[in-house]
Amino acid sequence: MENASYDPTLTEELLRFFKALSQPERLKVLGLLANEPRSLADLSQALNARPADSQRYLGPLIEIGLVEQQGDSAYRFNAKHLEEMARQVLSGLEPRLTESDFEGEAYDRKVLSDFFLPDGRLKSIPSQEKKLLVVLGHIADSFEPDIQYTEKEVNVILARFFNDSVSLRRYLITYRFLGRDNKGQAYWRIPD
């Protein structure tokens, strides 16, 4: 998988952005301005700071475009600039998993790409049985054959895929991807 191309201008802008947000006082200024435009005096009072200090906090935020002066005396948060910057940064990123990353037939790859997030987590449990079987087969591949797992170990593995590990475990047993002893203390991968 290829990374987004290196853009030195964007990298420099991001460095300035994070540097400007590195002080708690500047974050407080943004929080205050996100609610409503404020004058320097209002900001100073809300921050319990001198006007000169408030102006110093504003400077880097104005420089990176997150704050702009409105009229003669008020400052406001520039949400559009933040949205534009986020869009620009994220537009070059590729998802970590794509349909072609999944093995198997085209249908299986399509189902897996539809139901899994780029980080490998399951978006939701499919309601259609045919799709559910594809998803369960993929998850079952996380279990080694000929190894017995405790319920806790099974839950840890399943939690990497989905928050509701109990439902996943039940489906894996019901559809015979995993076997379980009568006491529910040992689980194993049933061979294909």
What ranges do the domains of the chain cover?
8-91, 99-189
Q: Which of 97, 107, 90 is nearest to 161 (CA)?
A: 97
Alpha-carbon distance of 124 to 164, in angstroms, equals 10
Please give the pLDDT value at position 139: 93
Please give the pLDDT value at position 89: 64
Q: CATH second-level architecture of 8-91?
A: Orthogonal Bundle (1.10)
Its pTM stands at: 0.47
Please give the pLDDT value at position 92: 53
Please give the pLDDT value at position 15: 77
Per-residue pLDDT of the chain (192 residues; tens, 9 = 90+): 344 445 566 667 777 778 888 888 988 988 898 888 999 999 999 999 998 998 999 888 888 888 898 877 799 988 888 887 777 666 555 445 555 555 567 888 888 888 988 888 899 999 999 999 999 999 999 898 888 999 889 989 998 898 888 999 999 999 999 999 888 789 999 987
Per residue, the 3-state secondary structure of the chain, as one string, reads: CCCCCCCHHHHHHHHHHHHHCCCHHHHHHHHHHHHCCEEHHHHHHHHCCCHHHHHHHHHHHHHCCCEEEECCCEEEECHHHHHHHHHHHHHCCCCCCCHHHCCCCHHHHHHHHHHECCCCCECCCCCCHHHHHHHHHHHHCCCCCCCCECHHHHHHHHHCCCCCHHHHHHHHHHCCCEEECCCCCCEEECCC
